[in-house]
Structure 1
């Protein structure tokens, strides 16, 4: 099993950041390469459509409002991994602002550990860069 974590430190308050990213269906609000997010199964399943029309289906595994975090898994995606599980979390740093942590674990399928890790590091890094840009608007 492989894993990776990418973080973003921002001067924005944790509550403000969580308000933007804490909803399971809110990816299009801050992640420009996700055009659409449709929720199903009472909000526990999200079907994402990317810029190219590709579809990713993810399941909400756990949600903790007070800890400002949620865990999700991939049900269907064009990624070369199995057993994908990810956590998105906002950590309050008081007067310093907050830190966003996006991490994932997965088993590469048909690619090396390094290739699979680089794929998700890139997704997380690009996603957090887009979040930072959205927060500054």
Structure 2
């Protein structure tokens, strides 16, 4: 099993960051490469469409509004991994700032661990940069 994580400090209060990203169906609000998210199963499943028309289906596995965190798994995706589980968390920092962490575990399938890890590390890093840019606007 492989793992990767990325984090970013954002000069915005944690509650404001969580208000933007805490909804499981909110990716299009802050992640430019996911323009469409369709909720299903009472909001526990999201069907995402990326910029290229690719479809990713994810299931909410755990949600804690007070701790500002949720975890999800991938049910269907064009990624070379199995057993994918990811967690997104917003931490409060002193001075009205936040630290956002995005981490995942997975088993590479048909690719090397290094390639699969680089893929998701890139997704997390680019996604968190997009989040910071959205909150700056």
Q: How far has the Cα of 1:35 moved from its partner?
A: 1.1
Q: Which residue of 1 aligns with 2:105?
A: 105
Q: Which residue of 1 aligns with 2:56?
A: 56
Equivalences for residues 10-89 of structure 1 within 5 A: 10-89=10-89
1:93 aligns with 2:93: yes
Give the distance between the partners of 2:43 and 2:26, measured in 1 at CA.
11
Q: Tell me, what secondary structure is at the counterpart of 2:63?
A: strand
Return 5+ residue gaps in structure 1 as ranges: none
Contact 2:14 2:96 in 1 (8 A): no
Q: Which residue of 1 aligns with 2:120?
A: 120
Q: How far has the Cα of 1:24 moved from its partner?
A: 0.3
Contact 2:47 2:56 in 1 (8 A): yes
Give the distance between the partners of 1:24 and 1:109, measured in 2 at CA.
26
Q: Which runs of 4+ in 1 moved over 6 A?
A: none
Give the distance between the partners of 1:11 and 1:33, measured in 2 at CA.
23
What's the Cα RMSD here?
0.6
Give the distance between the partners of 1:82 and 1:57, measured in 2 at CA.
13
Q: How far has the Cα of 1:12 moved from its partner?
A: 0.4
Calculate the TM-score normalised by the size of structure 1: 0.99
Return 5+ residue gaps in structure 2 as ranges: none
Give the distance between the partners of 2:113 and 2:96, measured in 1 at CA.
35
Give the distance between the partners of 2:12 and 2:29, measured in 1 at CA.
17
Q: How far has the Cα of 1:96 moved from its partner?
A: 5.2
Q: How far has the Cα of 1:44 moved from its partner?
A: 0.2
Bigger CA drift: 93-102 or 37-46? 93-102
